[in-house]
């Protein structure tokens, strides 16, 4: 099953890379359309695949985003892994390159992660850097698809996994791929 998950994750990553591969070559920045009607609020959810401690952990992320400028937005989110390893609450700032609804963006985030280790609860901060793209499938659609790759670092107590009776593996660094839908 682990091999199947790795193959699925690799195929999904290749599809994402292929869709972005020629974007900047095919459509120069100066010729890109800049007229777009942006709504200030959008709500949605994402399926996230988080990689840490040598395994991929699926989870879900719910978010509410406010676009206060055509190039800038802020969103509040909550995330949980299906395995229950941790829960996360945080805020993100996104910078959109062209300022349109269908656009590439850079994400900077800060959050707090809640997990248990040795029967104690921890709530360390986490910083995140990501790159993604919002895609609209139809010209007048009121929803979009978001694909994002990000890396994050937990400051303080690390995530742990029991190896055997005497040793634990620790992880401060995680990598994730998110795929979601947002309504605006």
**Would you say residue 142 has pLDDT above 90?**
no
Q: Which two tokens stand for residue 45?
A: 């959810």
CA–CA dist 51, 61 (Å, integer): 15
Q: What is the pLDDT of residue 157?
A: 86
Does this model's pTM top 0.85? My answer is no
* Percentage above 70 pLDDT, the chain: 82
C-alpha to C-alpha distance for 134 and 68, rounded to whole angstroms? 17
Tell me the mean pLDDT in the region 130-149. 87
One of 3.40.50.2300, 2.40.160.20, 3.20.20.370, 2.40.10.10 is the CATH number of 39-183, namely 2.40.160.20
Per-residue HEC secondary structure of the chain comes to CHHHHHHHHHHHHHHHHHHHCCHHHHCCHHHCCCCCCCCCEEEEEEEEEEEECCEEEEEEEEEEEECCCCCEEEEEEEEEECCCCCEEEEEEEEEECCCCCCCEEEEEEEEEEEEEECCEEECCEEEEEEEEEEECCCCCCCEEEEEEEEEEEECCCCEEEECCCCCEEEECEEEEEEEEEEEC
Residue 25 confidence (pLDDT): 47
User: In 10 A of CB 158, how many CB atoms?
Assistant: 19
For the segment 108-129, what is each residue's pLDDT rounded down to a tens digit? 999 999 988 778 888 999 999 9
Q: Domain ranges in the chain?
A: 39-183
């Amino acid at each position: 099953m682990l091999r199947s998950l790795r193959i699925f994750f690799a195929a999904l990553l290749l599809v994402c890379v292929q869709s972005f591969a020629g974007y900047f070559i095919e459509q120069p920045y100066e010729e890109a359309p800049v007229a777009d009607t942006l709504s200030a609020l959008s709500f949605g959810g994402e399926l996230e695949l988080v990689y840490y401690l040598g395994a991929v952990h699926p989870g879900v992320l719910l978010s509410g985003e406010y676009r206060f400028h055509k190039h800038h937005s802020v969103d509040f989110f909550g995330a949980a892994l299906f395995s229950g390893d941790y829960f996360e609450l945080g805020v993100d700032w996104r910078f959109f390159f062209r300022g349109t609804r269908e656009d590439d963006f850079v994400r900077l985030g800060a959050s707090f992660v809640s997990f248990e280790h040795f029967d104690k609860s921890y709530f360390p901060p986490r910083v995140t850097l990501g790159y993604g793209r919002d895609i609209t499938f139809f010209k007048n659609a009121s929803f979009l698809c978001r694909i994002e790759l990000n890396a994050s670092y937990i400051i303080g107590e690390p995530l742990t996994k029991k190896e055997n009776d005497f040793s634990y593996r620790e992880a401060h660094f995680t990598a994730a791929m998110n795929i979601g839908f947002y309504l605006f």
